[in-house]
Amino acid sequence: MVVFNRLIYLFAFISLSSYVSAQEHSDFKTNEKLRDLYIERVSEQNASFATTYVGEYKSKFQTLYRKRSKDAKYYAENDVYLFEPSSLEYLNTLKNKIAVANQQFDFSGVNLVIAKFPWANAYSTGDGTIAVIPDIVTFYDNEDQLTYLLCHEFAHYFSRHFERQITKTYDYIESDEFKDRVKEINRMEYGKNTSAVALLNDNLYSQRSHSRRYEREADSLGLVLYLNASLCATESVNEVRKLGEMSEEFDKSSVLIFDRLGLPKSAGEPNEMMNIHDAERESKWDLVKSHPDVEQREEWILEEVERRQEEICETAPTDEFLKFKMQMEFESCNILVEYDMVDAALIKSERLRIKYPNSEYLKAISGYCMYQLYFGRKHHELFNYSRMPSENIKDPDLLNVLNSFYFSRLPKLRVAVYDFLKSSYTINQRDGRFLVSYARMMNDMGIEDKGTMTKLKKRYQQFYPNGKFAKYFPYSTKHVNN
């Protein structure tokens, strides 16, 4: 729940920021009609599941489906689920391709959404909602890989894994074995806690083994759905391989992002500086949450593909796929910023700038992130915006950047961040976050450049004309002639 309170706070506070340069990345905004349609459809779905459920936990499932419906509505209304028309239309064409080739399955209850979370994954909630998180798309090469991902999620839905998993849990809680063990623990004089933990662990262990079985089923049915549409078999194997590669993303980057950012070098080698991971606070999020047992899954699918004597093939990316992928790349950066994970957003944005060197949008993201990190350091709250450097961070670029922000001298850092913003600033810049950061940084440097400040302010007012966010631009009296 914490996540969503935080989201609401962020939306109230940073909604000035969602402006995106039109030439390269159009507004990624929810269409209210599509959103309302989703809410309506998903509540019908849940109501119908609640009435058609046959099993021994009817009242429990009725409560559960009602809750599911409320959750979906909440996620949609609070922009956790995004309903941006062009990207949803693209995902729906992939869904339709699979639906047409698999008419024995009823796809009418499947609702695709894009979910705003700062990690790479996709999931099926059981009521027909299939959520794709933008970051996962950034790892794929072509639309067959993305389609296989969807097929795997469709299979979870058609196999009713949600209902089956919950039923297993209820079965366990209602079992004599469980009840006896609870009674036994209650009778114990000592060691109640340890025994209770052991009981919970046993349950977790059995859930994990079920979830492994469901993954296998989802791959096996998912592959059937996929191959029925005559898609390239090799790409289904590649999709799962990509999931495995995600956690090693940084290996692919040979560019010294640290140098490109012009940050001051801190004394000492990273590993000498890093011996502080006892102090590292709980990490906010796992950046990459891949499906369980990726290697195992790759093996299953490969075996199945070979058994069917499918030919080795390769799919070329379509323009539509590349456009969708770009939207997801930019949006995944934006999501990290909105979750205040500006260290990760900075590295991601700089890596994307290698691919899109002229992107004003990415420059704005990087500039804003640099400013936030500097701001955090200046106000002794850097930990709000970035992880502590630690031995556990295997990405040398990230480690170097964190090192600079945590350990270099503040005046040097100030100059480096100002230089970066200055070199990234153009009059085309339309991102409110960037404009505010640049203005504040000029102020911090004591630079009295009235010309630039006036331009910045005008640019800013162009996008926020009713002065709604004027307080984030606090220099009107000091520097700017009105």
Sites of contact with Zn ion (CB under 5 A): 218
Question: Please, which residue, 7 or 218, has the CB nearer to Zn ion?
Answer: 218
Q: Residue 268 and residue 446: Cα distance in Å, rounded? A: 31
What is the sign, positive or negative, of the torsion defined by CA atoms of 30, 34, 40, 41? negative
> What's phi and psi for 124, nearest 5 deg?
-115, 125
Nearest approach, Cβ of residue 222 and Zn ion (Å): 8
Nearest approach, Cβ of residue 241 and Zn ion (Å): 16
Question: Please, which residue, 136 or 218, has the CB nearer to Zn ion?
Answer: 218
Q: Which two tokens stand for residue 245?
A: 């590669």
Question: Please, which residue, 162 or 361, has the CB nearer to Zn ion?
Answer: 162
Q: Residue 152 and residue 161: Cα distance in Å, rounded? A: 12
Question: Please, which residue, 218 or 456, has the CB nearer to Zn ion?
Answer: 218
Nearest approach, Cβ of residue 312 and Zn ion (Å): 25
Q: Which two tokens stand for residue 24?
A: 């390269």
Q: Residue 453 and residue 456: Cα distance in Å, rounded? A: 5
Question: Please, which residue, 218 or 399, has the CB nearer to Zn ion?
Answer: 218
Nearest approach, Cβ of residue 152 and Zn ion (Å): 6
Nearest approach, Cβ of residue 156 and Zn ion (Å): 6
Q: Residue 236 and residue 241: Cα distance in Å, rounded? A: 9
Question: Please, which residue, 217 or 444, has the CB nearer to Zn ion?
Answer: 217
Nearest approach, Cβ of residue 296 and Zn ion (Å): 12
Question: Please, which residue, 121 or 332, has the CB nearer to Zn ion?
Answer: 121
Contact criterion met (CB below 8 Å) for 401 and 257: yes
Q: DSSP 3-state assignment of 122?
A: strand
Question: Please, which residue, 149 or 362, has the CB nearer to Zn ion?
Answer: 149
Nearest approach, Cβ of residue 215 and Zn ion (Å): 5
Contact criterion met (CB below 8 Å) for 373 and 382: yes
Contact criterion met (CB below 8 Å) for 144 and 332: no
Which one-letter amino acid corresponds to residue 314? E
Nearest approach, Cβ of residue 48 and Zn ion (Å): 24
What is the sign, positive or negative, of the torsion defined by CA atoms of 451, 455, 460, 466? positive
The alpha carbons of the chain give a radius of gyration, in whole angstroms, of 25
Nearest approach, Cβ of residue 123 and Zn ion (Å): 8
CA distances from 239 to 24, 122, 137, 142, 311 (A): 27, 13, 10, 9, 17
Question: Please, which residue, 16 or 218, has the CB nearer to Zn ion?
Answer: 218
Query: Among all residues, whose Cβ is closest to Zn ion?
Result: 218
Q: DSSP 3-state assignment of 480?
A: coil
Q: How far is CA 202 from the centre of its chain?
A: 31
As a three-state string, the secondary structure of 84-144 is CHHHHHHHHHHHHHHHHHCCCCCHHHCEEEEECCCCECEEECCCCEEEECHHHHCCCCCHH
Burial class from Cβ neighbours inside 10 Å (0-12, 13-18, 19+) for residue 170 reads middle
Q: Residue 202 and residue 352: Cα distance in Å, rounded? A: 44
Nearest approach, Cβ of residue 462 and Zn ion (Å): 46
Q: Residue 24 and residue 331: Cα distance in Å, rounded? A: 12
Nearest approach, Cβ of residue 419 and Zn ion (Å): 46
Question: Please, which residue, 236 or 404, has the CB nearer to Zn ion?
Answer: 236
Question: Please, which residue, 53 or 214, has the CB nearer to Zn ion?
Answer: 214
Nearest approach, Cβ of residue 282 and Zn ion (Å): 27
Question: Please, which residue, 18 or 211, has the CB nearer to Zn ion?
Answer: 211
Contact criterion met (CB below 8 Å) for 199 and 257: no
Q: Residue 163 and residue 150: Cα distance in Å, rounded? A: 20
Strand order in the sheet with 81-82: 81-82, 111-115, 129-132, 122-124
Q: Which two tokens stand for residue 366?
A: 């990087």
